[in-house]
Amino acid sequence: MATGTTPPGPDGLPLIGNTHQWARDPCAFRERAADYGRVVGFEIMGWDAYMLTEPGDIEAVLTDEHGRFEKHDESTEQLEEFVGQGLLNSEGELWERQREAIQPAFFMEQIKRYGDIMVDRAEAAVDRLSRGVSVDVQEQMLRTTLEILVECMFGEDIDLEARGLYDAVEAVQEPLQPANQPVTFLVPDWVPVPMRRRAQRAQAHIEREIDDILRERRWSDSDRNDLLAMLLNSDAPMSDQQIRDEMLTFLFAGHETTALTLTYVWDLLSRTPDAEARLHEELDDVLAGRPTVEDVFAFEYTEAVVREAMRLYPAAHEIRRQPVEDVEIGGYTLPEGSLVVLPTWVLHRDERFWDEPEQFRPERWLGDADRPAFAYFPFGGGPRRCIGQQFAMTEAQLVVATMADRVTFEREYDDLELSAAVTLQPKTTVQMRPRFR
Ligand code: HEM
């Protein structure tokens, strides 16, 4: 294996390489490609791609060697119009300064204050259900996580509906939905398709609303504990533009990912009565009334349910990087400017690390397991790991506990079809019928 040679990989076509195979089913394509070995070469959308399949190599890219990689150009360009230069999208000194300034807002001490909001909104989600009337569970979870996030960001006095924020957030994300991917990726940006115009108008609306809130708050000296207050009172002063980008980043990175995880939890529980029964047992045992953040520390099975759902269906189904210089891995050169794919989906279902990887078995998370750290990385790793990891884990467990304590869901569809868009999305409408316990 000589350094500099092209790694093995699936055959492609002239000009388009493997783009057609990728576009048809990215999850199946990456699983097949993984059989070629430690470093797999292919070509998508004009990029020379290098997919890594060894946890140790993935760990190196995200941790020890992270300085030799940046976020990939294609992802950052796509994100730029939604979140500007927020934490998810920035690099170098700006990123370092912002990460340090924002980190305290996500310490566990701070997240504990958000517990009540999380439980309140989950209770509201149950209150919206009527016995036997089926609902789109994904839609319900999107609404719930958006309500939680906005209240944690801005406090309770922001009326999402009155400010038109529900509709705007939905419209902004419309081009990213699986059914709209062909238009989003194949029709050039300058073509004014109505969906794009709606998304642009909605984006402008959200930005105006955030600016309004920011202006009001700059002039009031209220003693608040929300995320915005943490940023306004940070030791490193931030411009309004920077705060707005960070708020947009939290909205973009922090509500759909958690909503998807919760949606998958309800789907998987409805297919696995033993797991559901065990979850109920733990809730009956631990909860003394309404769930609290303290209960989260006592949960074992509830946490395992969330972890296992994220193993099978990681909302961030892959992480992309771009080497800023040539990097050697496994005897191959990953050239500067190429696309490096860290395929979360593939590692999470790799038989070397998981018995019966297709099975939903929360039990596998109870007790110690002997597997490499980066066989599982739903929140990434290293300095750029998800800043909202504790927030999301606390939120997911509190929403599952609050809702599962009162209600179960019965599927009205058979198979759950998936689409690996920007995030891993159900193609199927996740229509379910609630039953109160
Ligand atoms: C289940 C829910 C979530 C999942 C699966 C998830 C996943 C991820 C992943 C994989 C990354 C790393 C991306 C990379 O390295 O390229 C990331 C970064 C990030 N996430 Fe999350 N996330 C979740 C929830 C949240 C929440 C609730 C927030 C905020 C409220 C958030 C904010 C961020 C931010 C700001 C970054 C960028 C961090 C940086 O580069 O310094 N995420 N997330």
The mean pLDDT of 408-426, rounded to a whole number, is: 94
Q: β-strands 47-52, 39-44: how paired?
A: antiparallel
Q: What is the pLDDT of residue 1?
A: 45
Residue 99 CA: nearest ligand 1 atom is 41
Pocket of ligand 1 (CB under 6 A): 71, 87-88, 99, 249-250, 253-254, 257-258, 261, 315-316, 319, 378-380, 384, 386-388, 391-392
Q: What is the pLDDT of residue 3?
A: 53
Residue 183, pLDDT above cutoff 80: no
Ligand 1: centre distance to CA 258 (Å): 10
Ligand 1: centre distance to CA 77 (Å): 17
Single-letter amino acid code for the residue at 416: L
Options 3.40.640.10, 3.40.50.970, 1.10.630.10, 3.40.50.10860; CATH for 19-436 is 1.10.630.10
CB half-sphere exposure, 321, CA atoms < 13 A: 30
Residue 186, pLDDT above cutoff 80: no
Ligand 1: centre distance to CA 311 (Å): 16
Measure the N-to-C terminal CA separation of the chain; round to a whole number of Å: 60
d(CA 242, CA 40): 38
- Of 405 and 200, the one with more pLDDT: 405
Write the pLDDT tens digit of every residue in 361-378.
999 999 888 899 999 999
Ligand 1, from 121, 248, 342, 386: best to mutate by most atoms within 8 Å of Cβ? 386
Residue 145, pLDDT above cutoff 90: yes
Write the pLDDT tens digit of every residue in 287-346.
999 999 999 999 999 999 999 999 999 999 999 999 999 999 999 999 999 999 999 999
180 pLDDT band (50/70/90 cuts)? Answer: low
Write the pLDDT tens digit of every residue in 71-122.
988 778 878 888 889 999 999 999 999 999 999 999 998 899 999 999 999 9
Ligand 1: centre distance to CA 434 (Å): 30
Residue 344 CA: nearest ligand 1 atom is 10
Residue whose CA is at the smallest distance from ligand 1 atom 11: 386
Closest CA to 60 of 327, 400, 304: 327
Beta bridge partners of 13: 17
Ligand 1: centre distance to CA 134 (Å): 31
